Structure 1
Amino acid sequence: MIPLDGLALAPTDAPDAGDVALIERELVAFNVERSLPYDRRPLCVFLRDGAGRAVGGVTGSTNWGWLYLDCFWLPDALRQGGWGGRVLAAAEAEAVARGCRRARLYTYSFQAQSFYERHGYTVFGTLEDDPPGHRQVWMRKDLSA
């Protein structure tokens, strides 16, 4: 039982790693009790130069049969040369190898919606004026096709 006296809200932009770990650990335990096995694993694909330094790539995770793409970035010099498609395909292939059947992500109207559409993603939702003057676009793809 948590004593209710002395509780205080503490907003921060510099969280303690242990505090973050507590929230994540407890949410995972909650999810495991009520749903499928919680099998979340990071999935990143880095594009590396000849010296082995990351020059771009994608970050995300897999869980419950889904690939969740978070951040995808390539420098301007590597765009329009097919590298983006190869990075995305590598992430999707690894996700399929992990048993994923679908992928989802969000992008913004000033980012890469058309790139994802060319690679089979479809829009399933939008948030208008987020950020102001633009929209957030939620997309998904069936990886079993």
Structure 2
Amino acid sequence: MGESIYKNFLINIVWIHVNHRGKGLGQKLMQIAEVEAIKRGCLIAQLDTLDFQAPSFYQKLGFSIIGTVPKFPGSPERYFMMKHYR
């Protein structure tokens, strides 16, 4: 899912099979991972996602968009997101 380094929780991949989406599993998985990140001393979490993936999912969990790369032919818009723990 991710790693902790320099008091950052770097989220690499969060993926729930389509048959199990909409059941709260993604939110539960993120909560478990964030509890562990805080135990490790992380002060922030950061990730990137694409416009067709889950920016609104992460915003509901308290993440803010801190930057974007606009879409261009052959590539969707990319969002960089961060959440402060303290």
Give the match for residue 51 of structure 2: 109
SS of the residue aligned with 1:104? strand
Q: Is the 8 A contact 1:130 1:136 kept in 2?
A: no
Give the match for residue 60 of structure 1: 2
Give 1:134 deviation, angstroms: 1.8
Structure 2 residue 81 is the aligned partner of structure 1 residue 142 = no
> Which residue of the other structure, out of 60, 65, 68, is the alignment partner of 1:126?
68
> Which residue of the other structure, out of 10, 13, 17, is the alignment partner of 1:75?
17
> Structure 2 stretches of 5 or more lacking a match?
none
> Structure 1 stretches of 5 or more lacking a match?
1-58
Tell me, in whole angstroms, the C-alpha distance in 2 between the residues paired with 1:129 and 1:89: 30
Higher relative contact order (CA 8 A, sep 6+): 2
Choose 1 or 2 for highest CA Rg.
1
CA-to-aligned-CA distance 1:39-74 (integer Å, 9 cap, x gap): xxxxxxxxxxxxxxxxxxxx1100011000001110
Give 1:129 deviation, angstroms: 1.8
Give 1:132 deviation, angstroms: 2.7
Which sits farther off after the overlay, 96-105 or 131-140?
A: 131-140
Q: Is the 8 A contact 1:69 1:103 kept in 2?
A: yes
Give 1:133 deviation, angstroms: 5.0
Tell me, in whole angstroms, the C-alpha distance in 1 between the residues paired with 2:31 and 2:2: 13
CA-to-aligned-CA distance 1:117-140 (integer Å, 9 cap, x gap): 000000000001267352010000
TM-score normalised over the length of structure 1: 0.57
Report the AA paired with residue 115 of structure 1. Answer: F
SS of the residue aligned with 2:12? strand
Give the RMSD, CA atoms, in angstroms. Answer: 1.3
Identity %: 31
Runs (4+) of structure 1 exceeding 3 A deviation are none
